[in-house]
Chain A
Amino acid sequence: MAQQKKPRTLSGATTNKAPKISGAEAATQRELLRQAREREERERKVRRTVTFGTLGVVVIGLVVLLIAVVVPALSKKAAAAGSYGLTVGADSAPVTVDIYQDFICPYCGQFDRAQSADLKSLVDAGSVKVVFHVMNFLDSSSNGTKYSTRAADAFVTVAKQQPSAALAFDTALYTDQPAEGSDGLTDAQIADRARSAGVSASVIATFANQPNLDFVTKSNQAAFDEGIQSTPTVKINGTVFKGDLYTAGAFKTAIQAAK
């Protein structure tokens, strides 16, 4: 479009000039124009390549994202989950509360500190059984000490061998909970808290061997496979409780209503 105009001005210019220099000047001008047009065409080509290349990369990226992230997430939800729940309380209890937790997760601590007294009284009264699902996906948040795994390992030991002390041990781990990003509690401190929660010395002695590492990892995976995406996730009779987890009251009311 613009290319049509330029030659016209060029020819106009040639007629107006003195004949002697006009030939040489016109040739130079024509040469310059030709170079400009060539450059424009070159840039146009590069621009097209760059544009479609970038678009292509974006499209490929989206497809890869879809296949690598979205599809596995959906199919995992569909896959059957193994059972790694640790039940505390009377089997005959009419209400089941499932708790998915990681011992270094600050909100799990907040939840426990707000609700443990209510939960304990309900479990003691035989109206609720609690199924704990330990998770260790926050292992990277304890400066390499893998506090999530160590605490979960000890907790699984207690829940399996001395379930009557499990609730108290759970609460003991969340009292003065180590911050996310800290080293977590040392193994000795975990043992101390178990002792204060009434776990027997013989059970505590088995902590050192970390007998449940495999269980903890699989429990974590099973929770993810079930579709758990955050901790704490709390279910009452299989339905996720969406009310206020961090203040005492609403949770207890919901449990009593579920009877």
Chain B
Amino acid sequence: MLRSRKSPRSTVLIVAKAADPTPSPAAPDFLLPLWRAVVVFRLFAWVVATGSFAREWDSYPDHVIPIVLLALMAGWTVVVTLAYGTDAGRRSRMAGYDLIVTVGFIAANGLTQPWADLHAGAPVLTSLWATGPIFALAVERGRDGGFTGAAVIGAALITVRQRLGDQEIFNTTLFFVAGVTLGYAATTTRRATTRLREALAAEGAIAERERLSRSIHDGVLQVLAIVRRRGSEIGGAAAELSALAAHQEVALRSLMTSGPTTAGGRVDLFATLRLRASSRVEIVTPAGTLLLEREMVEEIDAAVGEALTNVAAHAGDGAQAWVTVEDRGQHVVVSVRDDGVGIAERRLDDAQRTGHLGVAQSIRGRIIDLGGTVELQTSPGAGTEWELTVPKSRP
């Protein structure tokens, strides 16, 4: 009798423990430098705005309103600096409020100069400072944030100028380029941070599994192996105990090695297949891991499971099976071989005619859906061998 998989209650506990999502270890937030740049830019831009005002002193008809506005801009700069400097501020909708308030400041330019003068090219008090929200939005929301910020600030400045000249088009284009580029950079950085976090979590899980497996290896497994060996020597009822111990030993060993490692929605094929080890099934894989799309791993695993069930049903008593996984670069090749009675060619034809080849068709269907191929070799007395070849990336 051959069972493809058995996980007794006592060992399931261990799996659950090993597979528990470990608390995400502290990974550095790579977005932090970008936020710092946004804040420093804003402070610098305020200094520039104040400097320009001093330089253009004579072109302002009144000096009280601009000075009050500059003071308010300084106040808002302090508010956003504090907000962007904290986790909570970065995660909230602060960049959106920043955009609205800044548009208000751009509109307030109308209080500093007559609209006709602004149209004619008089200095705009908010100048470079007004572009701050574009960058904050880009860092917070990625490409779309940068795009939105550039569109709103560009439109506000064009409205204040009441014209669409070369200068306005040039400035707005620059806003778009800067906003979208920074947005992309922020998105990429955010992904990198997530990946790193996952990698650190996986590393923690592996370390935990190793710790567990070492202690299990030194104790439980050794005793099981001894029970198995001694039991089969004594014979009789002890031989039964020996067989039970043997089964548990293999099951526990494979559970320790596996606990499928995942990262970024991908699953380790080697570890997944190793769970199918039993005293009658040997799983042979290279060292390390082979991460593939979750769906692909599940389909391959299911196909292997069906092949093994078939072995158990038809290969005969005492048949041994080997599941061998080979990474061949573009493809992964999984072989399921048994040393059982095999299938005579005539019987295979009969089966095909009477529609008893359900298993073969099911396996074939799964693998072909993945863009792969299936080969079946069998002859009487020489067992059967399935060879599943699957491309690692979908066609």
Bound pair (A, B): no
- CB within 8 Å of B: which residues of A? none
